[in-house]
Chains A and B, each alone.
Chain A
Amino acid sequence: DAKTTQPTSMDCAEGRAANLPCNHSTISGNEYVYWYRQIHSQGPQYIIHGLKNNETNEMASLIITEDRKSSTLILPHATLRDTAVYYCIVTGYQKVTFGTGTKLQVIP
């Protein structure tokens, strides 16, 4: 799987959009970008995924650059419950490995 690079931590004001970046410059043509988050000590939770088009669901939006070397997860209106560690993963095969992620702190 391609390696990903994410900032260690970020802050976001409650009610504002949270934009979490991820670099995956070695991504292959058949690899997808997945985002998960882990709240406190719970198991990671799937958020969204995409191949090359931008995606949106009830939780977030995913913007993938045209060259697919980076992506941004957008939480449109962050709440305190969005405080978590966010993981960006690139995978096209069965093996799914997690990096260190970005710790997002939503501030009241």
Chain B
Amino acid sequence: DAGVIQSPRHEVTEMGQEVTLRCKPISGHNSLFWYRQTMMRGLELLIYFNNNVPIDDSGMPEDRFSAKMPNASFSTLKIQPSEPRDSAVYFCASSFMGGTNEKLFFGSGTQLSVL
């Protein structure tokens, strides 16, 4: 199994541009999580999906952020327009929720720099 796959690994963009981060969860997992990590705020949960349905998006910082999961094998996190304060590492994680071990598997992250 290739694990959780995120792309791109690094993204450098200018303020005001649209940014799209992508995630492919592990096959068979039914839950997907988006996190953001910065030195100041640590690892923050932005949104999570269960069976492709957004369950809790209370961590999404503002309307500039949106996330979709059109099918069980793909999710996107979009920032439009991007701002310098959005610079962070964005992690995607997937899990199978419903058993006795609901451990998360994380991708390698996307390092986003907004200039």
Binding site for B on A (CB under 8 A): 32, 34, 36, 38, 41-46, 49, 87, 91, 94-101
Measured between beta carbons, the chain B residues less than 8 angstroms from A99 are 42
CA distance A44 to B108 in the complex (A): 9
46-103 of chain B: CB within 8 A of chain A: 48, 50, 55-56, 89, 91, 93, 95, 97, 101-103
Contact residue range for chain B?
20 to 34
Q: Is the CB of A41 within 8 A of B109?
A: yes
Binding site for A on B (CB under 8 A): 4, 31, 33, 35, 42-43, 45, 48, 50, 55-56, 89, 91, 93, 95, 97, 101-109, 111
CA distance A20 to B107 in the complex (A): 25
25 CB contacts below 8 A, A to B, read A32-B102, A41-B109, A41-B111, A42-B106, A43-B91, A43-B106, A43-B108, A44-B91, A44-B93, A44-B106, A45-B106, A46-B105, A87-B43, A94-B48, A94-B50, A94-B97, A95-B45, A96-B33, A96-B48, A96-B95, A96-B104, A98-B35, A98-B42, A98-B43, A98-B45
CA distance A99 to B31 in the complex (A): 21
